[in-house]
Amino acid sequence: MPSNDDRSPSPPAPAPAAGDRPYLPPATHPVRGLVWALHLAVPLAGLWLLVARPRLNIRWEHHVSHFWLVVGVAAVNVALGMMVGQAAARRRDARLLLVSLVFQTTAGFFLLHGLATPALILAKGSHGFDIGQPVGLLIAAVPAFVSSLPLGERAAAAVLARGDLLRAGLVLLLVGWAAVSLIEGLTPLSAPPPAGGATLGVLSWPGAALYAISAAMMFRVHRRRPSAMLVSLITAYALLGESMIAGYFRPNWVLTWWEWHLLLVAAFVFVAYSAYIQFRREGSGAGLFDSVTLTATVRRVQAQYDEALEELVGHLRRMGEGAAGRTPVALRLAGKFRLNEGQAAVLDRAGQALAAERELSARLGALVDVGRRARVAVGEETLLAESLDRIRQAYGDVRLGLVANGRVAIGDRAFDADDFKETGTAGEPGRVVHPLTVKGVLAGALSVPVGMTAHDEALAATLAGQLSIALENARLYRELETLFRQYMSPDVAASLLADPAQAALGGSLVELTALFADLKGFTTFSERVSPGEIVEMLNRYHAAAVPCVLDNGGTIVQFVGDALLALFNAPAAQERHAELAARAALSMQEAAERIAGGNPDYPRFRVGVNTGLALVGNIGSPELRGFNAMGDAVNVAARLQGVAEPGSVVIGAATRAHLGPGAAVTPLGELSLKGKEQGVEAYVLTALE
């Protein structure tokens, strides 16, 4: 757990562009900073002058002026202490609690110092009158010093947990000090001071040091998050330290003695004046001291404001632009954060702007998503359902209809092409209907709620155009599936769609496995049956054989009558292409056997499989071309199919080597094949593990 929230490094600020000036709060402007430093230096310079020139340090004893000066400033201090204490309770912040104790302690002792003014309660001066305020300042220096520390979460929680105890202890201390210093004859504090005067050096200098350290530590906080109220608190701590130094120089009623009274007055009036100015500027006292809080509190407050803004944005989204819908939530938030009417109005406008910006982002996101879905290989129903679901997330109650018998029905209304001719849209109460077209012809309509701005209308029109493109793509793809893909292997069709350059004439040398299959006895069967029965038989066999090839990743490059040629490892790469081809061949024979079992007069498949190098590519002319493979490996596969017995699969030696020990084969020895000068070693494949 981090122990120091205020020391977390802030990200470096970007360098201002030429001609730009970084914004600084008025109290942090360099010129005002110089004036502020001079104000702190002037009292010390005056003190030095009075001490160095004793003849200037004249005596002025006026009890009434002293009493009202002290009591008046004590009252101001009590008010400040109460305000800061309320802020500490509201924000649950340990630093504000400690600062409130500083004000309350000094206010209490300052009041007791005023009550001890000679001839008011006591007839003469007392020891308590002399040392009461320095003692109070020293006690207040302790919470001042702790408040300037970068308290971590545990330390802050410990301070808050003891808040009531600290306040009760302060009250008891003040009551006790009042009793012992104001009840004449009770203690030495109510007696006249010693003949040599009160010795205050032990109190003044440690107290001044603590206030100086506190001011320096608070200045570090101010550097990270500049604030006029922080400047006021730093000034107050500095003046309190100077007052302790001034109080060291005696005797009473001389100008140096009056100076430390005036420094106390300046310290507290400075903070009160800053609070008043900030209250006038903001119109509310809810956040007067937020800048003084710990970093963890600042983050928590920021999160609360973010949550409030989110609540307002959500309300605006639900209620639309009607002012009656916005007023209750704005008032509720104003009460929650103690905002005035102007601040509530600013929050309301900020919520509207943020809601509009988020709606715009959501609608742009929906437009992008519909564009992503406008791709091939997505069915029309799926496309429209997914797109409509996404659009409704951004636009609300969007409705879609498709043309049926020349009209589009949406809800209780129906539209035709004439409804969109004049303006390009059609109207419904609170809605705008945009046409969906395919090849410039009305194919459907999209009904969208009326937008709040012109941007909404433009986006809705763009959305309808994008959805029209998606619908047209889906329908063109469906035609392509029928007219293109069913006339060639899906792998070849997909490759051509992804890279049309693959349709160029030419090819490359690739190791592949070729599978040839035809029907033994097809000619005899054709002579004794009608053409219709031939087509029926071929379609049944091919309907069973084609899935066997495709399921194993093969590419069927041609049908020639009763024969087919399939390639593995072309055009799509396959690591185990020989094994896949062998499995496809065995599956084809099993499927063909099931068909032939119920038709004894049907011819039987015979299959040849061979592996080797072949030239693969597009062969033909610019007007007509086809994907094919040429080479010795393909020719050998055709020859092996020719020597195979019906219902069997014959493979070449290269394919056998790729299959390994998992293949069950019967050697056929070296075969003399047509077109081959040397014998070709062949095997009958019966099973694969």
Q: What is the 3-state secondary structure (H, E, C) of 428-464?
A: ECCEEEEEEEECCEEEEEEEEECCCCHHHHHHHHHHH
Q: HSE, CB side, 13 Å, CA atoms: give it for residue 676.
A: 19
423 pLDDT exceeds 90? no
Are the C-beta atoms of residues 487 and 469 closer than 8 Å to each other? Answer: no
398 phi and psi angles, rounded to 5 deg: -95, 140
Q: Model confidence over 430-456: pLDDT tens digits?
A: 788 888 888 888 888 888 887 666 677
Instruction: Considering only residues 153 and 565, tell me which one the structure prediction assigns the higher pLDDT.
Output: 565
How many Å separate Cα 302 from the centre of its chain?
A: 17
Alpha-carbon Rg for the chain in angstroms: 47
Element (H, E) at 559: strand 555-560
In this predicted structure, what is the pLDDT of residue 650?
A: 97
Are the C-beta atoms of residues 311 and 331 closer than 8 Å to each other? Answer: no
Burial environment of residue 287 by CB neighbours within 10 A (0 to 12, 13 to 18, 19 or more): buried
Residue 12 is given by DSSP the state P
Q: What span, in angstroms and rounded, lies between the C-alpha atoms of 217 and 238?
A: 11
Are the C-beta atoms of residues 116 and 187 closer than 8 Å to each other? Answer: no
Instruction: Considering only residues 72 and 372, tell me which one the structure prediction assigns the higher pLDDT.
Output: 72
In this predicted structure, what is the pLDDT of residue 609?
A: 97
Write out the two tokens for 153. 């979460």
Q: Model confidence over 582-635: pLDDT tens digits?
A: 999 999 999 999 998 888 889 999 999 999 999 988 877 776 777 788 999 999
In this predicted structure, what is the pLDDT of residue 3?
A: 45
pLDDT more than 90, % of the chain:
17
Residue length of the chain: 689
In this predicted structure, what is the pLDDT of residue 298?
A: 76
In this prediction, residues 352-365 reach a mean pLDDT of 68
Are the C-beta atoms of residues 681 and 652 closer than 8 Å to each other? Answer: yes
Q: Would you tell me the crossing angle of helices 341-373 and 454-483 to the nearest 10 degrees?
A: 20
Element (H, E) at 634: helix 632-643
What is the end-to-end Cα distance of the chain in Å, rounded? 60
State how far the alpha carbon of 543 is from the alpha carbons of 539, 551, 588, in Å. Answer: 6, 13, 10
Q: What span, in angstroms and rounded, lies between the C-alpha atoms of 237 and 251?
A: 25
Are the C-beta atoms of residues 268 and 69 closer than 8 Å to each other? Answer: no
In this predicted structure, what is the pLDDT of residue 626?
A: 73
CB within 8 A of 340, min separation 6: which ones? 282, 283, 284, 334
Pairing mode, strands 407-410 and 413-415: antiparallel
Are the C-beta atoms of residues 122 and 128 closer than 8 Å to each other? Answer: no
Are the C-beta atoms of residues 609 and 634 closer than 8 Å to each other? Answer: no
Model confidence at 327, pLDDT cuts 50, 70, 90, reads: very low
141 pLDDT exceeds 80? yes
Sheet with 413-415, side-by-side order of all strands:
413-415, 407-410, 399-404, 441-449, 431-438, 426-428
Q: Is 180 helix (H, G, I), strand (E, B) or coil?
A: helix
Write out the two tokens for 19. 């001609």
Write out the two tokens for 7. 């020391």
Are the C-beta atoms of residues 145 and 210 closer than 8 Å to each other? Answer: yes
Range ranked top by mean pLDDT from 123-127, 263-267, 298-302, 637-641:
637-641
666 phi and psi angles, rounded to 5 deg: -120, 120
Model confidence at 64, pLDDT cuts 50, 70, 90, reads: confident
Write out the two tokens for 336. 């929650």
State how far the alpha carbon of 149 is from the alpha carbons of 3, 37, 236, 342, 467, in Å. Answer: 11, 23, 17, 36, 61
Q: Would you tell me the crossing angle of helices 255-282 and 30-52 to the nearest 10 degrees?
A: 160
In this predicted structure, what is the pLDDT of residue 23?
A: 41
CB within 8 A of 58, min separation 6: which ones? 254, 255
Are the C-beta atoms of residues 115 and 121 closer than 8 Å to each other? Answer: yes
Write out the two tokens for 598. 């119920």
Q: What span, in angstroms and rounded, lies between the C-alpha atoms of 560 and 570?
A: 20
Closest by CA position to 651, among listed 589, 603, 596: 589
Q: What span, in angstroms and rounded, lies between the C-alpha atoms of 325 and 312?
A: 11
Q: Would you tell me the crossing angle of helices 228-248 and 255-282 to the nearest 10 degrees?
A: 170
Model confidence at 428, pLDDT cuts 50, 70, 90, reads: confident
Q: What span, in angstroms and rounded, lies between the C-alpha atoms of 601 and 628?
A: 33
In this predicted structure, what is the pLDDT of residue 645?
A: 94
Write out the two tokens for 309. 């803004």
Query: What does the mean pLDDT of the chain come to?
Result: 76
Closest by CA position to 297, among listed 165, 166, 161, 150: 150
Write out the two tokens for 600. 């004894």
Write out the two tokens for 631. 């080479």
Q: What span, in angstroms and rounded, lies between the C-alpha atoms of 166 and 298?
A: 24
62 pLDDT exceeds 60? yes
Q: Model confidence over 269-306: pLDDT tens digits?
A: 767 767 667 666 655 555 667 777 777 877 877 777 77
In this predicted structure, what is the pLDDT of residue 39?
A: 56
Q: What span, in angstroms and rounded, lies between the C-alpha atoms of 529 and 521?
A: 13
Q: What is the DSSP string of 334-366?
A: HHHHT--HHHHHHHHHHHHHHHHHHHHHHHHHH
In this predicted structure, what is the pLDDT of residue 82?
A: 85
In this prediction, residues 260-269 reach a mean pLDDT of 69
Residue 5 is given by DSSP the state S
Write out the two tokens for 450. 């009326």
* Residue 360: Cβ within 10 Å count: 16
How many Å separate Cα 681 from the centre of its chain?
A: 66
Residue 400 is given by DSSP the state E
Q: Give the CA dihedral 376, 382, 386, 391, nearest 10 degrees.
A: 80
Amino acid code (one letter) for 383: L
Q: Is 686 helix (H, G, I), strand (E, B) or coil?
A: strand
Amino acid code (one letter) for 644: A
Residue for token pair 């600062």: 99
Write out the two tokens for 548. 């066997």
Closest by CA position to 628, among listed 558, 547, 560: 558
In this prediction, residues 106-120 reach a mean pLDDT of 75
Write out the two tokens for 639. 């020859």
Are the C-beta atoms of residues 425 and 465 closer than 8 Å to each other? Answer: no
Write out the two tokens for 585. 């061949």
501 pLDDT exceeds 60? no
Q: What span, in angstroms and rounded, lies between the C-alpha atoms of 231 and 458?
A: 51
Read off the pTM. Answer: 0.46
